[in-house]
Structure 1
Amino acid sequence: MNNSVKVIQIDGILDSTKSQEFRDKITAELESGVKTVLVDFKEVTSMDSSGLGALVLAFKALRAANTRLVICSINEQVRIVFQLTGIDKVIEI
């Protein structure tokens, strides 16, 4: 099996409730030795500071393990949050 790319799909509002689930998925991928994690935001309607924090922690953990984090399919509301916080300049979208 090819462990080079793994897709993680999340949906709804990425908030404190979903942040732990997201962190657990990232941890599982770190342990699997994957080289790139693609986070599909297609079904994410919005996110709060907890979700943003989880994303930053995921980025740092993956980068420390030489694993790439890529985000795809973001909606306009999430794009604005990324632009306002500068995340779009740090994490590949």
Structure 2
Amino acid sequence: MKLNVIILELSGIVDGIRGNELRREVSNIVADGAKILLLDLKGVNFIDSSGLGALVSAMQMMRNANGKLFVCSVSDQVRMLFELTKMDRIFQIFADQDEFKRQIWTTQ
């Protein structure tokens, strides 16, 4: 069985505007039938509250479509934000794409 894994690489600041773009992208990804989405946050240096809301919306969209959303390559600042807001308990976070591939692609 071939896994339909989509990797989205985000960069810069994830705010309300970028968050809305992310929601649209994830909506299209769900419509295309993808079951696993990896958000690579390697290039993200800041996420504001609306950006966090967009990440949660993205996860809900994937869950509603019986899919899964994962996050990788989180900077120290974003990790701190995730911990403060308890998002680190909601998202499964991988060190990088390689760790994700080792743990998820090989187990599916």
Q: Return the TM-score normalized by structure 1.
A: 0.94
Q: Which residue of the partner structure matches residue 96 of structure 2?
A: none
Tell me if the contact between 1:8 and 1:25 (Cα under 8 Å) persists in the aligned partners. Answer: no
Q: Percent identity?
A: 39
Q: How far apart in 1 are the matches of 2:15 and 2:55?
A: 11
Q: Return the TM-score normalized by structure 2.
A: 0.81
Q: Which residue of the partner structure matches residue 85 of structure 1?
A: 85
Alignment of 1:68-83 (within 5 A): 68-83=68-83
Query: What secondary structure sits across from 2:18 in the alignment?
Result: helix
Structure showing greater Rg = 2
Q: Which residue of the partner structure matches residue 26 of structure 1?
A: 26
Kindly report the root-mean-square deviation, in angstroms, between the aligned alpha carbons of the 2 structures: 1.0
Q: How far apart in 2 are the matches of 1:41 and 1:54?
A: 14
State the shift of 1:18 in Å. 0.7
Give the number of equivalent residue pairs. Answer: 92
Task: List runs of 5+ in structure 2 lacking aligned partners.
Answer: 94-108
Stretches of 4+ moved more than 4 A in 1?
none
1:33-66 deviation per Cα after TM superposition (whole angstroms, max 9, x unaligned): 1110000100001100000000111111111111
State the shift of 1:3 in Å. 5.4
Q: Which residue of the partner structure matches residue 47 of structure 2?
A: 47
Q: How far apart in 2 are the matches of 1:46 and 1:91?
A: 17
Q: How far apart in 1 are the matches of 2:68 and 2:38?
A: 8
Query: What secondary structure sits across from 1:33 in the alignment?
Result: coil
Q: How far apart in 2 are the matches of 1:87 and 1:31?
A: 25
Q: Aligned partner of 2:69: which letter?
A: L
